[in-house]
Every structure is written in structure tokens, then in C-alpha cells.
């Protein structure tokens, strides 16, 4: 495949690690990155080393996971953007400039960009669908990839499928680890069977050194705990999040999460959404995984046997590796499809990611 140019919306943990991982993959050139206060664009290729060094430990908005806000307006009332130090974000990079309209700025550049990765926390359910819609309405013809989590968002994207097809967009949704990599693994593991009874996804993440970078993801996870939802989690202050983490001694177990692996597997014809469960353990006080990430697919073979195929990730592989490697792999596949006119909304169980 020819060189693939891509942009990253959001430079929190996922956005920055995507830029970093892309440097280790063939044929990928990051050309734009933005957060809520700034944008860096270079169509010849960003200097990723400089951008990461300038932004490390320096998020523009902890509360929103460093994401551009949905309506492209800042919540600071437009006061001066810091160019250096804690809280500066992308504008601390010498390649960046401040902007109040980061998403629109990427849209304005997008005619020359093959793919856009939406590395944004979806802290209102329709934020990613609405952002994608803006690209379609601007006539973008290319690839969009997101790493969203919630089941109910997939339907919102499907509702916009005609719009994406008319625009010439190939959209891969839920292309991180779960949903994403592990959904794809379940789809492969299901191939031994003619009927799938159950898919169990169980993840383990150790996030001590990555905690600051991944506050947006942790906030989204907290929304799955009893007594919280996405709206109440969005309103929590950082101190309140800390208190929840402390209450659990830094180790939080999640059961029956609303993760889109269920609808994505149903959509791909593999099993009913109700037969899929997703849970896991997050340890923010250790970098060791508290449990081994495992996908178990139980089903019946054509010749009447019942069995369980198991797929495990090595404990040595980090969340950063397991979210961003697949996200870029799916992005490459989508570019290949887009170039032959294959448009619409696809899930990680419909495609194989390119290495
Ligand atoms: C995600 O970002 O895909 C979801 C997160 C879990 C990642 C699992 C990674 C497994 C591994 O590295 O072993 C979490 C639900 N925020």
C-alpha cells in the first residue's frame, strides 16, 4: 500500500500513543494532530518526537481527556491559551498553533488526508457520531476510525451510514482493544463453530505510569460502576475520581460493561448481543496486569461437539500496544477499502486489520 497519511483528533493517552506506534509501522505518516486548544499540521509529516516531547505530562484538558470539545468551543471562555508548561497541550509544540476550532481546522485540511482517527472520549453518546457527520457534510472522502466503547453508539453511526456512503467515507467503529482487537479475535475464534452460545471478554489493565495519560478512559470506565452513568461520570471532578479510585484501593473490577463488542458481533452475524459479556480489572497502582486479558468463545461444531476457543493476550503487552496497534491496523485496512470504493460503516468483526 502507498503511504497513508492520517490525522489524530485528541492528543490524550490514545492520541499520543497512536502517533508513537505509527512510527514503528510501515507506510503511515501522521500529518495532523489537535486537542481542544491547538492544532499541528504538516502535510509532509509531523515531527512526532518533538510533538510528544512537548506534550508529555502536559494535557490541555484533563477533564475531557484532552479532547477537542464537540462544538469546537473552549470551556475556558476563550481566555489566553498557554503555550508552555502544564495544561498547554499541543500548542506547546513548535509545530502547532492555537485555535478555537480544532476539529473544523482538521476538516479544512482533510482533502489531503487519507484517514482520521477519532481518539476522543465519547462523553456524550452522540459526540463521535456528530463529529463524523461534520466530516461527511464537509464532503470528506476518506477513512474515519474511532475507538469508542459504548454499544448504543453503533446504532447512531448506522443511522448515518447513507450519509457516509454518499460522501465516500469508510468508517471503522470500535477499533481499539475492546471493542476492537478482542471483538475481532472473537470473530476468528467463532469460526470452528456453526453456532456460538457465548462470548466472554475479560480484560486486565495495569495503568500506574499511564494513569495521567488515560484519565479520560478511566472516567469512561467509572461510568460503568453501580450508581454512575456517562452523564454523572462526566460531571465528576478529578478529586472525586481520585476518591473513587481510593475507595477501591486503586483496583476496580467491572462487570457486565456496556461495550459494543456485543452489537458488533451480532451485526457480523456471529451471535446475539445478549450472549456477549465484557468485564475486566483496572489497577491504577501497578503497571502489571491484574488479570490476563482473555476472550472465550463457546459454541457447537458442525459435528455436534461443544467447545470453547480461548484467545489470550500476553501479560507483557500493554493497553497502549493493544489499543493503538489494532486501531492503526484497522485504519490501514479501511484505507485499502476506501481506495477501491468500499464505503459505509464497518466493525472490527467485519474486517481483518493490516499489520
Ligand atoms: C479500550 O480502550 O479498548 C478499553 C479499555 C480496556 C483495554 C483492554 C486492553 C487489554 C490488554 O491490554 O490486555 C478499558 C475498558 N477502558
pLDDT band at 67 (very low <50, low <70, confident <90, very high): low
Q: Is the pLDDT of residue 333 over 80?
A: yes
Is ligand 1 within 6 A of the CB of residue 221? Answer: yes
Instruction: Report residue 199 as a C-alpha cell.
Output: 462470548
Q: Which of 122, 323, 348 to mutate to test the pocket of ligand 1 (most atoms within 8 A of CB)?
A: 323
| 3-class secondary structure per residue, 174-213 | CCECCCEHHHHHHHHHHHHCCEEEEEEEEEEEECCCCCHH
Write down the catalytic residue from 63, 133, 224, 289.
Answer: 224
259 is catalytic: no
- pLDDT, residue 230, reads 86
pLDDT of 86 higher than 70: no
Looking at the chain, the whole-number percentage of residues with pLDDT higher than 70 is 90
Task: Supply the mean pLDDT for the chain.
Answer: 92
Q: Does residue 75 register a pLDDT over 80?
A: no
Residue 74, pLDDT score = 43
The DSSP code sequence of 271-297 is S-GGGEEEEEEEETT-SS-SS--EEEE
If pLDDT is split at 50, 70 and 90, which confidence band does 65 have?
very low
Atom of ligand 1 nearest to the CA of 14: 2
pLDDT at site 196: 98
C-alpha 101 – ligand 1 centre gap (Å): 30
Report the atom number in ligand 1 closest to the C-alpha of 319.
Answer: 12
What confidence tens digit (pLDDT) does each residue in 172-207 have?
A: 999 999 999 999 999 999 999 999 999 999 999 999
Closest-lying ligand 1 atom to the alpha carbon of residue 289 = 13
Ligand 1 atom 12: residue of nearest CA: 319
pLDDT of residue 22 exceeding 50, the answer is yes
**Annotated catalytic residue 220:** yes
Q: Which stretch of 24-28, 123-127, 294-298 has the lowest confidence by average pLDDT?
A: 123-127
The percent of residues above 90 in pLDDT, for the chain, comes to 82
The angle subtended at Cα 16 by Cα 331 and Cα 218, nearest 5°, is 95
Nearest CA residue ID for atom 9, ligand 1: 319
Binding residues for NAD(+): 10-14, 216-217
Choose among 46, 19, 35, 18: nearest CA to 87. Answer: 35
What percent of the residues of the chain are helix, what percent strand, and what percent coil, each to the nearest 5?
A: 35, 20, 45
Q: Which of 62, 133, 166, 220 is catalytic?
A: 220
Q: What is the ipTM of this complex?
A: 0.96
When pLDDT is averaged across residues 211-215 and rounded to a whole number, the result is: 85
Task: Work out the pLDDT band at 64, boundaries 50, 70, 90.
Answer: very low
214 CB less than 6 Å from ligand 1?
no
- Look at residue 63 in the predicted model and tell me its pLDDT: 41
Mean predicted confidence (pLDDT) in 111-115: 97
Q: How far is the CA of 319 from the centre of ligand 1 (A)?
A: 6
* Mean pLDDT, range 112-140, rounded to an integer: 92
Residue 204: CB within 6 Å of ligand 1?
A: yes
Q: Which DSSP category does 120 fall into? A: -
Does residue 113's CB lie within 6 angstroms of at least one atom of ligand 1? no
Asked whether the predicted pLDDT for residue 214 surpasses 90, the reply is no
CA distance 206 to 115: 30
- What is the reported pLDDT for 212? 84
Going along the chain from its start, the domains and CATH numbers come out as 4-176+320-351 (3.40.50.720), 181-315 (no CATH)
- pLDDT of the residue at 161: 97
Question: Is residue 322 within 6 Å of ligand 1 at its C-beta?
Answer: yes
Pocket lining: 177 vs ligand 1, CB cutoff 6 Å = yes
Index of the ligand 1 atom closest to the CA of residue 214? 16
Q: Which residue has the higher pLDDT, 86 or 28?
A: 28
What is the residue whose three cell numbers read 502547532?
Answer: 96
Q: Does the C-beta of 18 come closer than 6 Å to ligand 1?
A: no
Lowest mean pLDDT among 13-27, 213-227, 291-305, 306-320: 213-227
What's the pLDDT score for residue 80? 53
Amino acid at each position: 500500500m502507498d503511504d497513508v497519511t492520517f490525522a489524530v483528533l485528541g492528543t490524550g493517552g490514545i492520541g499520543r500513543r497512536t502517533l508513537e506506534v505509527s512510527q514503528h509501522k510501515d507506510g503511515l505518516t501522521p500529518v495532523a494532530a489537535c486537542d481542544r486548544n491547538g492544532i499541528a499540521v504538516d502535510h509532509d509529516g509531523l515531527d512526532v518526537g518533538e510533538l510528544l516531547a512537548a506534550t508529555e505530562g502536559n494535557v490541555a484538558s484533563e477533564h475531557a481527556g484532552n479532547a477537542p470539545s464537540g462544538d469546537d468551543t473552549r470551556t475556558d471562555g476563550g481566555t489566553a491559551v498557554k503555550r508552555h508548561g502544564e495544561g498547554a497541550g499541543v500548542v506547546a509544540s513548535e509545530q502547532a498553533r492555537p485555535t478555537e476550532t480544532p476539529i473544523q481546522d482538521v476538516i479544512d485540511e482533510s482533502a489531503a488526508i487519507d484517514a482520521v482517527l477519532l481518539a476522543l472520549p465519547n462523553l456524550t453518546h452522540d459526540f463521535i457520531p456528530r463529529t463524523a457527520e461534520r466530516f461527511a457534510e464537509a464532503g470528506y472522502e476518506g477513512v474515519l476510525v474511532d475507538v469508542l466503547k459504548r454499544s448504543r453508539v453503533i446504532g447512531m453511526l448506522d443511522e448515518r451510514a447513507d450519509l457516509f456512503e454518499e460522501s465516500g467515507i469508510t468508517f471503522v467503529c470500535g477499533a481499539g482493544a475492546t471493542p476492537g482487537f478482542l471483538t475481532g479475535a472473537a470473530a476468528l475464534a467463532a469460526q470452528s463453530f456453526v453456532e456460538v452460545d457465548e462470548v466472554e471478554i475479560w480484560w486486565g489493565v495495569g495503568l500506574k505510569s499511564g494513569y495521567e495519560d488515560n484519565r479520560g478512559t478511566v472516567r469512561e470506565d467509572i461510568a460503568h460502576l453501580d450508581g454512575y452513568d456517562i452523564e454523572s461520570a462526566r460531571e465528576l471532578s478529578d478529586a472525586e475520581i481520585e476518591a473513587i479510585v481510593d475507595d477501591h484501593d486503586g483496583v476496580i473490577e467491572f462487570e457486565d460493561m456496556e461495550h459494543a463488542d456485543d452489537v458488533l458481533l451480532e451485526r457480523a452475524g456471529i451471535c446475539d448481543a445478549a450472549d456477549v459479556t465484557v468485564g475486566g480489572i483496572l489497577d491504577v497502582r501497578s503497571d502489571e496486569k491484574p488479570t490476563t486479558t482473555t476472550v472465550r468463545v463457546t459454541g457447537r461444531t458442525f459435528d455436534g461437539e461443544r467447545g470453547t476457543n480461548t484467545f489470550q493476550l500476553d501479560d507483557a503487552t500493554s493497553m497502549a500496544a493493544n489499543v493503538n496497534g489494532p486501531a492503526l491496523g484497522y485504519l490501514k485496512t479501511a484505507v485499502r477499502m476506501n481506495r477501491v470504493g468500499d464505503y459505509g460503516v464497518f466493525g472490527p468483526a467485519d474486517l481483518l486489520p493490516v499489520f
